[in-house]
Structure 1
Amino acid sequence: MKQIEFLFLSQKDTLSLGLGMTEVIDLVEQGLAEHGRGGVENPPKPGIHATPNSFIHAMPAYFKNLNIGGLKWVSGYPDNRELGLPQIIGTIILNDMKTGVPVCLMDGTWITAVRTAAVSAVTAKYCARKDARVLGVIGAGVQGRQNLIALKIVFPSLTKVKVFDINREAANRYRNELSPQIGAEITVCNDVESVAKGSDIIVTATQRLSKPLIRNEWFEPGCLGMGLEASRAWYGEAILKADKFITDDWEQTKHFKAQGAFPDGLPKLYAELGMVVCGEKSGRETDKERILAINIGLALEDIIVAHHIYEMVKVRKEDFKKLTLMEIGS
């Protein structure tokens, strides 16, 4: 009797492999370049919304040249924190692209955290000033932390970090835990304006907001702004008046506009991020440009990292758990 089996990887299994942020950044950069060359099938992510502030998204992607593909099923529930649960929980399925058979089911929560930060790092590599030294972070949660770690890898010149969080204790923990880890001075600020002004790179890594945070006059010449909330943290004037607007996928960005993002209208697209990474379009061209990147998040970033993890497991001698999906024949 033939069995269809698939590998099961828990978050503990994934972490045991020791994949580092530098490798994740390289993988994400490779994936984005493929997207820029038109080598990825990555449709806009559909979602369901059980509560006003929640989402569950289905995120499929297929790399044509690499012949790898799969799907991430990911939820975002901001109120989970009160229940002692992660706000973001993801699961990833990889499939054999020749047969469609599932070959691996793995945790996608950690992958989501690191690949999102890696996208910011790749964006900064091409769009931030080369002499960037001051990073401003709004939100001291998972993404505020991971973005700092990733950005410090591509910009070791970052020597000063300013952070604001509505939870002062979270901001203090951020400073106390990350400052010795990354070797930079971290200052906890009292308001968003203090973080934004004077920063070479601004990252907004907040939850869903009732109103925007970053005003146009705080978004200074030469700054790279990156919003991880589908435009919600940036006032419309700041978005519309940026010298260059970049996003990871224009069709998906328009899809999110139809769902309520960009309430003041979509800005003119300068380029998709992958087009910049593959060299079809330039990134930063002057030290005075204000570049805003609103990367919604693409399944391709998850799938290329997940597939690399799957390949790492295949060459390891440890026995990772396999599950039987079905039995065929007699």
Structure 2
Amino acid sequence: MEQKDEDGILYLSRADVQACAVSPDTLEQGLRQAFLRRAEGRAWSHRKVVIGAGGRNAFRGKGAAMDEPAFGAFKWFGYFPENSRAGLPDFMPTILLNEAETGQLVAILDGIWISEIRTALISLIAARLMARPDSRRIGFLACGAQARSHLEVFCRALPLTEVVAYSRRIETAERFAAAARDRGLRAWAVTDPRAAIAGCDIVVSSIPHGASNTGQLDAGWVEPGTFLASVDLGFGWRRDSLSVFDRTVTDDHEQSSVGPGGTLNYDGPFSAELCELVAGRKPGRESATERNALIFSGTGLADLAAALIIYQAARTKGIGTLLPR
């Protein structure tokens, strides 16, 4: 039975979010529509909020709103890089969803799965516009949750045949390569990050912030014709090497401050914002030899679009727990 907003605030746990069984195709369509609204001036975002919590720990937040459907969302999360020692993720987000007619909170959603899938879909939307259409080989620099979500959506959507996996621990890369082979792809692990870049048509970097190999990748290793999705905000790469790209795009100008002390490990400039490519206002690729890059900021607009679709599915299917106002 479909639930009504006035019944209370809908809480969706991680299991609830996944039980909604929303397909990547549906989410991709929702994200594309949100980017189109942004290009039309009908969706808005803001710079990230960052609050230090001692040492490398921090709390962060990002949000967005749009006019149709009229909703806003804010994702709040702690980044605690030592959590792995306790077997916990270093990133455990929660998303607050509000309707934008009165501003009422309508849902609280666990944001872990949403963050993983929406990140991969942002990269996929960019790849459809910035990668060569004949791309067959994809390289992964780091093989954690983000790499797994990218593998899932990319191999479903693009004609990929080969996967090269690099991780700090060869065992992690081997497991990732085995998972890719289970999907019918030819895949292998490497011990040199350059080997996961050479000969690849698409490269996905998701080096964890603060890792020992942060800032060690050289963009000069990227070959002509390759598309890079830098999910790590550029921090996996040497800052001075990122100027090698012919076309560099961000997913959100407001959330992408550049230069020393910026939110991204990049000095600029950007050729465009992703919404401009989606709307056809600026080109994504103009020649087969371009080296193109998306330096990801993690736009709150994608969190809003994905959370709204999950919320609507949960209401239709009667999933979740209603909390009193």
TM-score (norm. length: structure 1): 0.91
Deviation (angstroms), 1:63:
0.7
Q: Structure 1 residues 311 and 50, CA, compared in 2 at 3 Å: closer, same or farther?
A: same
Deviation (angstroms), 1:90:
0.8
Name 1:37's counterpart in structure 2. 40
Name 1:176's counterpart in structure 2. 178
Q: Map residues 238-317 of structure 1 onto 2, 5 A cutoff.
A: 238-254=241-257, 258-259=261-262, 261-262=264-265, 266-316=267-317
Name 2:195's counterpart in structure 1. 194
Q: Structure 1 residues 70 and 323, CA, compared in 2 at 3 Å: closer, same or farther?
A: same
- Residue from 219, 224, 229 that aligns with 2:227: 224
Name 1:151's counterpart in structure 2. 154
Tell me, yes or no, if the aligned pair for 1:196 and 1:214 is still in contact at 8 Å.
no
Q: Map residues 40-51 of structure 1 onto 2, 5 A cutoff.
A: 40-51=43-54
1:58 and 2:79 matched = no
CA deviations 1:227-268 (Å, max 9, x no partner) are 112111122343112101111122321268534643xx6222
CA deviations 1:285-325 (Å, max 9, x no partner) are 10000111101101110111111111112222x36311113
What SS does the aligned partner of 2:102 have? coil
1:132 and 1:52 map into 2 onto residues whose CA distance is 42
1:133 and 2:136 matched = yes
2:186 and 2:228 map into 1 onto residues whose CA distance is 20
CA deviations 1:13-61 (Å, max 9, x no partner) are 1111111222222222222222222221100111112144333212121
2:196 and 2:319 map into 1 onto residues whose CA distance is 48
2:122 and 2:322 map into 1 onto residues whose CA distance is 31
Name 2:208's counterpart in structure 1. 207
Q: Structure 1 residues 319 and 278, CA, compared in 2 at 3 Å: closer, same or farther?
A: closer
Q: Structure 1 residues 22 and 144, CA, compared in 2 at 3 Å: closer, same or farther?
A: same
1:239 and 1:267 map into 2 onto residues whose CA distance is 9
Count of residues paired in the alignment: 318
TM-score (norm. length: structure 2): 0.92
2:244 and 2:225 map into 1 onto residues whose CA distance is 13
What SS does the aligned partner of 1:132 have? coil
Consecutive unaligned residues of structure 2, counting only runs of 5 or more, are 1-5
- Residue from 7, 11, 28 that aligns with 1:8: 11
Higher mean displacement: 270-279 or 251-260: 251-260
What SS does the aligned partner of 2:255 have? helix
1:39 and 1:200 map into 2 onto residues whose CA distance is 34
Tell me, yes or no, if the aligned pair for 1:36 and 1:276 is still in contact at 8 Å.
no
2:163 and 2:279 map into 1 onto residues whose CA distance is 30
Q: Identity of paired residues, percent?
A: 27
Consecutive unaligned residues of structure 1, counting only runs of 5 or more, are 326-330
Cα RMSD (Å) = 1.8
